[in-house]
Structure formats: structure tokens, C-alpha cells
Chain A
Amino acid sequence: MNRTLTPKERLALQRVAMPELPAEERSRNFEEVNLGLSGDQALTEARRCLQCRNRPCVAGCPVGVSIPEFLDALACDDLPRSVQILRGDNALPAVCGRVCPQETQCEALCVRGIKGQAVAIGYLERYVADWAMHHPDRLLRERTPAATGRSVAVVGCGPAGLTAAGELARLGHAVTVLEALHDTGGVLRYGIPEFRLPKEIIDREVAHLSRLGVAIECNVIIGKTLTVQELRREFDAVFIANGAGLPTMLGIAGENLKGVYAANEFLTRVNLMEAGRSKESSTPIIRRREVAVIGGGNTAMDCVRVARRLGAERAMIVYRRSEAEMPARVEEVKHAKEEGVQFIMLTAPTAILGSADGWVTGLRCQKMELGPPDDSGRRRPEPIEGSDFELSAGVVVNAVGTGANPLLTATAPELDLNKWGYIVTSPEGETSIPGVFAGGDIVRGGATVILAMGDGKRAAAAIDRYLKSN
């Protein structure tokens, strides 16, 4: 352990601030907002870790990263060892270091957060992962596992699928990832914008998995191109992680007006198809001066910040509860505000308004107040009578959520589903079909990258046990 500093000296160190592109500049481009820590900043921040014996932070991490250990190696300036520890626990550290809600996970449990500020574990994870990407020649060689001769099909190339693929490959199994879209990454690529997670990071993480022997095939839609039964015959085990599905409609008038997008379409056009951010892209996107995004989650923040970058002068979040109840990461809300996004809280749209020629012109809204808590534990929004007002908008984005995708499950009748159409699994990810496991949004409904990765990691362990006993 790094003993250059006494606990008192460690306690005296203040939490590092992440260097950022100035809001004025970044709200007009798609460059990454967080610039990353310098070497000195990272070293100092790592030394703020008290190396608690009971490691509370680790319990807060859905994939159980050995946080004190990788921080200690970093504090000792032994980056190759830090990388080895981090990558041993986390298949996608450069992604998690950027998109995980650390403030509700590892950092929420950090002892230093009790009286002051938690160690910036997320920033340091990103630092170590980025260092690894730029110093391939200095990395400790990963041991090449003996091939087990067993094969696993992974359905979906998103965070759950990639994590499971990496874990299984490290155990010596032959892994093939089947992806429905034309590119890798799933929601990491089509959902999360470039300014939060550069596509290059996904490419590098995927390339790392390819070096481990993972095969990836795009344009294969399970349930259409091939069925689960066919995969079951061809492979020794199957992991289903095909992700979120159909957008949930608002169920209000005007939803099909021109200029009304579901968040997935809006983000896919810009993120995956590069509409509005690459001159080479053939895919169009509608740009307007006023854009209203309905919802309060990370997807809503992504949409509104994309809208701002596409040139919206007035980019708005319309959310029916108050800011305290918003599920979005604290950092996304902060960044959005800095970039000039307007937050219209305690406001529920009751209709989408349109012109005679079918274009959206705005929202009819109703003011809300918070009543007693509902099933989710958040205070229930209740409409205030007579508070109707109109909000002008040329583009409206619905970011209230998604439902289950039926493509795969429709052709696998022996797969048990819950009443919402999501796949039912054991805590280890086993489905009702022996040898078939599932995880991520197709099991949880819309959740986070890191929860999906946790599923992938657990399922990989369960698949390994299954393969060894069958």
C-alpha cells in the first residue's frame, strides 16, 4: 500500500474538479464535455482514498470493482497494475468512468463523503482506462485462457452483452456476439451522445474484446434472422441482452404530428446515423429554434443537450415532478443547466399542438404539485386545476421511457415473460429455457448501463457454471 501520506495528510486533500470544455463553446459542438484529469490530479485524488478495510464503495458497485485496490495502485503510480485490477473486474471501464451514476453508487458509500466529499472514483476509473488505451505497450499481458471448447452466443452488443462476452472469453469460452444494428455498442452508440461518450471509446473497448477472441456479427436480428432455438442448437449456451424496446407513447393528442420524435429516434438519428453532426451523413434531422423534451431521466438530458447543439436557442426539459425527483445523473443536470437548457418543472403536457399543415407548434401543459409518495417512493405529482398554459415548440421529443421489445420473445414461446413482456430470470440470469440466460433492459425494463453490465457479469459466471456441469 502507498504509505507516503499519513491519514491526516490524505484527509487534508480536497476533491479534484473535472476540467470541462466551457459551456459556451461546447453547447455548439459535440466534443466531449469532460476533458479528463491530468496525471498529477489523478495521483493526488487517488491518494485521498483512505483504503478502508471494509471497502464500502465496492458494495455500491454493480460489477464489484476492486476500488481501493485499483486506487492504491494508481496512488503508487503503478498504472499497469491499476489497469490490470480494474479491467479484471470491469469489461468497459472507460465507458463506466464516463456514464455511471457514481454519486448514487460507489461514491455514495465512500467514507470521505460522510463529512466531506467522496473520492472521485468515477473520474479515476476513467483516467486509468484512458491511460490503458493510450499505453498498450505498457500493459501487463493478460493471461490467455485455455480454450474450453464450449461456445456461447450473446444476443446484443450493448453494455450487458459486451460485459458477458468479455467475462466468458476470459474464461476460455468461444463467444459470438450477434447485433441487430449495423454497428457495435447498442445503446452506448445509438443512445449516449458523443459529448458524453465519444464513439472512439466504444470502438477501443470493443477492439479490446476482439483481441480477447470475441467474435461480433452485426445485422443479425434474433427473432427474425435467426431464432433463439436455432442459437440454442448451434451454441452450448445463449445470453440474451437485446436491450430496450419500443418507445412508450404519451397517449395524448398530437403525438404523430411532424416534428414529434420518440427519444430513441431523435438520438439514433444523431448518434448512430450522425445526422446534424457529420457532413458525410445522409440521414436528416429536423432542427428548430424551440425544442421541448418531455421527461426527467438521462435520456431526456441527452436529448435536450443534443437539441441545444443542433442549434435550438430555447431547449427545454418539461418534467411533471420537481428537480429533486428527476432520475437523471446530477452531472447531466448540472451540465445541461450550464449549457443554457431551461428546466420547466412540475409541468405535465396534456396535448401536443399542431398547425393546419401538420407540424408541431407546441405543448398544452398543466402545472402540477407534489402529493404524498407513490409506489416508487417519490412524491406523486397532482394536477393543479385551472393552471393550463401553452408552451411554444417546433420540435417535441418524448423521453418518458420504453417498453419491452417483442421481436425475440415473439418467436420463443417457451421463454417466460412477466406481464410487461420482459424476460423472467433467476437472480443469476437463468431463463425458463435451460442454457438460455438473459440480462439488461430486456429483463429490467429501462435501467442504467452499469446495472446491465452487472447482469452481464453475473450471467457470465452462471453460464460458466452451467457449461461446467453440462
Chain B
Amino acid sequence: MFEVISNEILAENLHKMVVSAPRVALARKPGQFVIVRLAQGEERIPLTIGDADPAAGTITLFIQAIGASTRRIVDTRAGGFFRDVAGPLGKETHIANWGRVACIGGGVGTAVLYPLVKALAQAGNRITTIIGARASRYIILSDHLAPLSDTLIVTTEDGSLGTRGFVTGPLDELLADRLRAPQAVFAVGPVPMMKAVAEMTRKQGIKTIVSLNPIMIDGTGMCGGCRVKIGSETKFACVDGPEFDAHLVDFDELGDRLTSYRAEEALGHPASECRLAKEVAP
């Protein structure tokens, strides 16, 4: 049993939960995730570890409630428990000092982006962070990201905060500016957003890393549900990822596979796997 230490609402349906998991907190590196199972009979839900405090033995999870399972997870109050927390899983982010880096977050993908921005800032990178959502009430972590970034740009589709439009707008301007163009780009968000970013940076050959969130069960390479096509190879996101070279990812196939359980969802099954896809369309 893993105690929930705190549970804070950051935005509509978006919770920041601090959970006691001492071994995970000790072993965790940026880019890794845990599998959470709230109780007997519940789904195994992969969640990126947003932050960790090894001394306190806690990890921080950013969780968006989009289906029945994630709703029940975020409804767990401080003092309550998760039955299972397993991890840290996946490979850690390859962090280097690239020089100028652009970090792009869409919707709840921003929560996955946050630990990367933190690690990249610590490594001495100069960061332009661009985060976007449908409307201002879905914009998260801007106060966490601002001090880590040289520049923080916010976009909303309805113009209720920052620049009206998609994250790709400011990125386009950034790429066109020789003096500000990044040496590396990190993008986490809905599949169409990551695909659009990959297409934009491909022309200039800028190294671009995306964090993928396919359907997953065990998270240890056993089930093969999370397979993604990377170039000509099939990779398992849980053991080979979750981060991959954006220019090699088959985004269309990934996006399509994420819809595998749409019919079952309609019958009342949750769809943790689609939580990135639903929040923001680019």
C-alpha cells in the first residue's frame, strides 16, 4: 500500500498527487514512469513521475482524470492509499547540454515535460518553453516552468490566455529565427501535436525527442501492448522508451492504436491510454 501524502487540483480534472513510494523515489530518473493500480480489480495505469524527493521517500504524479479509473485515482484523498505503485519504469531521458533547447508541452503532456525541463535546466541549457491547451483553465505548471525557462510562451486555442492558437505557431517563429533556433527540441502532448512538431523540425534536422504514451499493461516488456514503430523497427515503449527520436516515430500508427478500446470505453470502460490524446488537438 502506498499512502497519498497530498492531492492538489492544478486545473480542471488535473491533480498533483504526492505519494509515498520510498524505493521508487530513490531509484527514479527524469523521463521515467510508474504503473499505478488503485485497488483490486482496477486497471494498471502508467503515469510519468513528475518529481521525486528521495529524502522524504515520495514521488509526485500529475494525473488527469479522463476515464473512470483515473477519476477514482484522483478522488483518493490525502491519507488514502494506492494499492500498487511499481517502478520506476522506462529509460531515463538522455540529458546533455545542447545549448538552446525548445520544450513543447500540450495539455497534460506539460506535466510529463516538467521533469525534463527541470533536468535540462540543471544541465545548463537555455530553454524556451512553449505550452498550450484548449483554454486558460487547462494551462498547468506555468509557475513551475517559468523559473526554469529563459522564455515561457503560453498558447490557448480560444485565446483566453497567452497567444491564440497552437504551440506550433510560436515554435515556427522560433525555428525561423537563426539567433534563437534551438539545437534540440523536446515535445510531449497529444499525438497530432508531436507529429506536427516532428514535421517542423525534420526539415532543419534538429534533434527532436518525444515521450510516447501508448496502451500498456505490465510496463516491463512482457505484454507487448505498447509496441510502436520507430523507423523500420518495432519497439516497446515501456522498456525501449518512453522517449524516442521524433523523426523516426510512426505517429499515425500510434494514434490509431490508441483508439483500440474506443468501443469498450463507450460501454463504460475507462481509457487511461487516451488521456493525452483527448486534452488538446493542435
Contacts and interface: CB of A to CB of B under 8 A. Distances in A.
Q: Do A and B bind each other?
A: yes
B129 interface: no
Candidate in B218, B221, B223, B229 with the most chain A CB atoms within 10 angstroms: B223
A448 B23 CA distance: 33
A282 B239 contact: no
Nearest to A407: B220
B86 interface: yes
B257 A264 contact: no
Given A219-B84, A244-B222, A224 B41 contact: no
A262 B87 CA distance: 23
B121 to A, nearest CB: 26
A130 interface: no
Interface in B165-223: 217-218, 220-223
B220 A180 contact: yes
Given A180-B218, A256-B253, A407-B221, A225 B261 contact: no
B86 A180 contact: yes
Interface string B79-123: 000011111110000000000000000000000000000000000
A405 B221 contact: yes
A282 B68 contact: yes
Given A180-B86, A286-B261, A269 B69 contact: no
Interface string B254-273: 00110111001100011000
Contact of B223 (A221, A226, A265, A274): A265
Interface residues of A, number: 42
A284 B264 contact: yes
A259 interface: yes
Contacts of A219: 84-86
Interface string A164-208: 000000000000000011100000001000000000000000000
B23 A226 contact: yes
B41 A280 contact: yes
B86 A256 contact: no
A190 B44 CA distance: 14
B225 interface: yes
B236 interface: yes
A249 B234 CA distance: 8
Contacts of B42: 282
A117 interface: no
Contacts, number: 118
A407 B239 contact: yes
Contacts of A282: 41-43, 68-69, 269-270
A139 interface: no
B76 to A, nearest CB: 15
Given A180-B220, A283-B43, A220 B84 contact: no
A387 B217 CA distance: 38
Contact of A286 (B41, B43, B68, B264): B264
Which of A220, A268, A286 lies at the interface centre, i.e. has the most chain B CB atoms within 10 A of its CB?
A268
A255 B225 CA distance: 11
A144 B33 CA distance: 42
A273 interface: yes
B256 A258 contact: yes
Nearest to A398: B224
Contacts of A225: 23-24, 27, 86-88
Contacts of A265: 217, 223-225
B37 interface: yes
B217 A259 contact: no
Tell me which of A221, A255, A282, A283 has the highest count of chain B C-beta atoms within 10 A of its own C-beta: A282
A245 B221 contact: yes
B229 A256 contact: yes
B44 A273 contact: yes
A411 to B, nearest CB: 10
A258 B257 CA distance: 6
A190 B223 CA distance: 10
B107 to A, nearest CB: 23
Interface string B19-41: 00001100100000000010011
A182 B41 contact: no
Contacts of A259: 260
B227 interface: yes
Nearest to B91: A410
Contact of B41 (A218, A264, A278): A278
B27 A224 contact: yes
Contacts of A285: 264
Which among B41, B89, B259 has the highest number of chain A CB atoms within 10 Å? B41
Given A221-B86, A246-B239, A256-B234, A269 B217 contact: yes
Contacts of B265: 284
A182 B84 contact: yes
A273 B222 CA distance: 14
22 contacts: A180-B86, A180-B220, A219-B85, A224-B89, A226-B27, A243-B222, A246-B221, A246-B239, A249-B224, A256-B229, A256-B234, A256-B257, A261-B225, A262-B225, A268-B218, A268-B223, A282-B69, A283-B44, A283-B217, A285-B264, A286-B264, A405-B220
Given A269-B217, A283-B43, 19 more contacts: A180-B86, A181-B218, A218-B84, A221-B86, A221-B89, A224-B87, A224-B220, A245-B221, A246-B222, A249-B234, A256-B253, A261-B225, A264-B223, A268-B218, A280-B40, A283-B44, A283-B269, A406-B239, A407-B220
The 9 residue pairs across chains A and B that have the minimum distance between CB atoms? A262-B224, A284-B264, A265-B223, A247-B224, A182-B84, A219-B86, A280-B41, A358-B256, A284-B269
Interface of B: 23-24, 27, 37, 40-44, 68-69, 83-89, 217-218, 220-225, 227, 229, 234, 236, 239, 253, 256-257, 259-261, 264-265, 269-270
